[in-house]
Amino acid sequence: MSPPHEIKESNGREPDRAVPEVPPVLLDSRQWSYVRRRYELTARELQIAELVCRGFRNDRIARDLRIRPGTVKTHVRNIYRKVKVKSKIAMLLRFVKEASGPAGLQSPLPPMQSLD
């Protein structure tokens, strides 16, 4: 039997692989808001941190945000400094731990009152 990487469709092409278009979201907007306040991240740093934590590479982030890869690298370096980590996985783990703890999961906002 052929190894999986050698399997071809009947037309001779390799089968299309299902690639998820949007990586899963690990933190909700309330948790990201907490992370932003906790680490004093700028709006752009938060945006980049979210994309990094969703698994996007620097070149993809740069392309999607229409900025230079070097700018993304600078933002990531600034995030590392503020969060006191040295890698993307350490940053992700810190955010998940911090945002899922007692302070990050405070009770939801009270329901809005009717204007009637």
Asked if the model's pLDDT at residue 90 lies above 60, the reply is yes
User: Per-domain residue ranges for the chain?
Assistant: 28-98
DSSP string, 85-103: -SSHHHHHHHHHHHHHSTT
Q: Is CATH 3.40.1170.60 the right assignment for the domain spanning 28-98?
A: no
pLDDT at 46: 97
Q: What is the pTM of this model?
A: 0.67
The residue with tokens 């680490």 is 39
> What is the rounded distance in angstroms from the CA atom of residue 116 to the CA atom of residue 114?
5
Q: State how far the Cα of 47 lies from the Cα of 87, in Å rounded to an integer.
A: 17
Q: Please, which pLDDT band fits residue 50 given cuts at 50, 70 and 90?
A: very high
CA distance 116 to 101: 37
Q: What was the pLDDT predicted at 33?
A: 93
First and final CA of the chain: distance in angstroms? 71
Mean pLDDT of the chain: 79
